[in-house]
């Protein structure tokens, strides 16, 4: 087991990448604190883990709130005695996110509160716990759009994921000598409820797929496998990276130096 006896906090655990990562990490021996604002679906994630013999508890939290983030970390320590892995995965893609002219200020602020502030708060309270464990791993979910921009306008989301990359780089440098590795997972277009609600017409879907060399949307399970690599000791010399798992889309648009 690649995560035997590790304790992991995973946000956005009720669906998509978060749920699949909870299931995989538990399968690989981790004790999981599954965090989400959606209590019903979060409980379903826990049920799935328990059905396969894994160890997990659910914690309801809004990651844009400091008290919730502090308490989710405290739950891991109180329940399992330590923290080894923090996966700041929770995020939103607002249906009214558009270009700069048409995106309302409230949509921009909400997107940043969850996608950026949520990462900051997770790290704020998670890093002291990782220090007490002698080190550990933080994974922050960014996106390929942080590097390329989006063909379908979503200015708040794209900007927020660029901020996640910047946060990840600085935190990785600051905490590298403390045995805390921090990386950004950058998924390409995925067949998840989050994106499919945004790409709500066949035309919008094809505008994304035409740019993907592999010609298909990625799967949440594939992102969970990438997160497992970053969380495990197999990536022990990997920190500060933008780990692109995107079906080749970023390579298709890289300008040769």
d(CA 31, CA 102): 44
H/E element, 49: helix 39-51
CB 75 within 8 A of CB 33: yes
d(CA 61, CA 170): 26
DSSP type of residue 116:
I
Half-sphere exposure of 70 (CA within 13 A, CB side): 3
Structure tokens at 200: 């709500």
Q: Give the E-state strand segments of 64-146 in sequence order.
A: 85-88, 136-141
DSSP type of residue 218:
B
H/E element, 248: none
Cβ partners under 8 Å of residue 218, min gap 6: 187, 188, 189, 190, 191, 245, 246, 247
CB 137 within 8 A of CB 85: yes
- Catalytic residue numbers read 157
Residue 166 CA, distance from chain mean position: 15
């Amino acid at each position: 087991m690649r995560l035997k006896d590790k304790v992991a906090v995973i946000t956005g655990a009720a669906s998509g990448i978060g749920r699949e990562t909870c299931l995989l990490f538990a399968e690989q021996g981790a004790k999981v604190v599954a965090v989400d604002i959606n209590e019903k679906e979060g409980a379903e994630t826990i049920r799935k883990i328990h059905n396969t013999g894994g160890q997990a508890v659910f914690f309801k939290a809004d990651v844009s709130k400091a008290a919730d983030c502090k308490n989710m970390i405290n739950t891991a320590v109180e329940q399992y005695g330590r923290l080894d892995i923090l996966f700041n995965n929770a995020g939103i893609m607002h249906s009214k996110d558009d270009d700069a002219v048409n995106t309302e200020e409230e949509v921009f602020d909400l997107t940043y509160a969850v996608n950026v502030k949520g990462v900051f708060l997770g790290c704020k309270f998670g890093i002291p716990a990782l220090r007490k464990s002698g080190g550990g791993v933080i994974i922050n979910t960014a996106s390929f759009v942080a590097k390329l921009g989006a063909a379908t306008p979503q200015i708040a989301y794209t900007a927020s994921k660029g901020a996640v990359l910047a946060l990840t780089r600085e935190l990785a440098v600051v905490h590298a000598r403390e045995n805390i590795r921090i990386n950004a997972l950058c998924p390409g277009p995925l067949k998840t409820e989050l994106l499919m609600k945004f790409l709500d017409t066949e035309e919008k879907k094809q505008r994304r797929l035409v740019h993907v060399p592999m010609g298909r949307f990625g799967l949440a399970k594939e992102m969970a496998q990438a997160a497992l690599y970053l969380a495990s000791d197999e990536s022990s010399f990997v920190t500060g990276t933008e780990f692109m798992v995107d079906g080749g889309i970023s390579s298709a648009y890289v300008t040769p130096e």
